[in-house]
Amino acid sequence: QVPFQVPLEVNVVLIGFNGDGGYRYPLDGHKLEQFLKMSFPLHRPSCFETGEPIDIEHHIMYNVIAAGQPELISLEKSLKEAMVSAGTARESEYGREFPLFEVEATVVEPIFERLYSFIFDMEPGRSATEMDRPVPVAIFVVNFDKVRMDPRNKGVDLDSLMYSKINGLTEQELKKQEADYIYRYRYNGGGATQVWLSSGRFVVIDLSAGPCTYGKIESEEGSVSYRSMPRLSNIIFPRGLAAPSASSTQDIFVGQLAGLISTTIEHVIAPDIR
């Protein structure tokens, strides 16, 4: 039995990957798009009750879109303002403890909503029935500069960086990009996370946030561990070595990010059904 082919358009919006975000990391959006098309072209959800695949198979069409520097800086500004001190957290299982800040996702959600409306030319608050066309699905992948966003650092004028040139980083500055603090989100007071689903049609994956953990520590299955999300610090400084060039890490990072995007599609955008 041949499943019914249904096209599914997935928009991946990269924020902070033009050499303007965390670690000044540049990501080749075209390379990511081609890799996604080759590696994860199809997705067939299953039925919860039976475990059998349903009669629909999604043929996924990917668009990778790069957001600009003004959008990145305005998001960093709103996040910095929304950070609330919440004690300390560990950087890894046996790592050091750092000051922890939490962000209520519903507070910064309107800024992401505005960016979504701007990119997809949608009026905020309009539904698909009113628009007379399908509402785009988007995955925002975010790479913020934690030093600029540090809520304890009052000396940074983010407004002035909106349109001015953002300087590169020395090797010493690269090593300090984690800025000795951790931040994470809670959506309506829910569990601490670095990934959240909006009330609209987009998901936010913040690679600068966290790490966050929940579930059983000894079991990777169904839990979120310190290694569940790719972290640029681990890719750029493998086991604390000197920084390799960003170009040598592109293939590794594109592979990790593509795997994360495919998981998001399978579990959030086109999940199994009852």
pLDDT at 66 over 80: yes
| Greater pLDDT, 208 or 2 | 208
pLDDT at 103 over 60: yes
Instruction: Please tell me the predicted confidence (pLDDT) of residue 3.
Output: 86
Asked, for residue 274, whether it belongs to a domain, the answer is no
pLDDT at 135 over 80: yes
Percent over 90 (pLDDT), the chain: 70
Instruction: Please tell me the predicted confidence (pLDDT) of residue 233.
Output: 86
| Greater pLDDT, 132 or 89 | 89
Kindly report, residue by residue over 12-29, the tens digit of the pLDDT.
999 999 999 999 999 999
> What totals of helices (H) and strands (E) does the chain contain, helices first?
8, 9
Report how many domains make up the chain. 1
The structure tokens 């300390």 sit at: 88
**Taking Cα atoms as reference points, which of 226, 215, 229, 216 lies closest to residue 261?**
229
Question: Which helix or strand (DSSP H or E) is residue 63 part of?
Answer: strand 56-66
Percent over 70 (pLDDT), the chain: 88
Beta bridge partners of 100: 182
Rounded average pLDDT over 77-102: 92
Asked, for residue 12, whether it belongs to a domain, the answer is yes
Q: Please work out, in degrees rounded to the nearest 5, the angle formed at the alpha carbon of residue 209 by the alpha carbons of 204 and 215.
A: 85
Per-chain mean pLDDT for the chain? 89
Residue range of the domain that includes 30: 4-269
Kindly report, residue by residue over 224-240, the tens digit of the pLDDT.
565 678 889 888 877 65
Q: How far apart (Å, rounded) are the C-alpha atoms in residues 122 and 128? A: 10
The DSSP call for residue 206 is E
Asked, for residue 261, whether it belongs to a domain, the answer is yes
Rounded average pLDDT over 154-162: 90
| Greater pLDDT, 150 or 239 | 150
pLDDT at 137 over 90: yes
Asked, for residue 26, whether it belongs to a domain, the answer is yes
Rounded average pLDDT over 81-104: 92
Asked, for residue 227, whether it belongs to a domain, the answer is yes
pTM over 0.85: yes
Q: How far apart (Å, rounded) are the C-alpha atoms in residues 26 and 107? A: 28
The structure tokens 């030093």 sit at: 147
Instruction: Please tell me the predicted confidence (pLDDT) of residue 42.
Output: 96
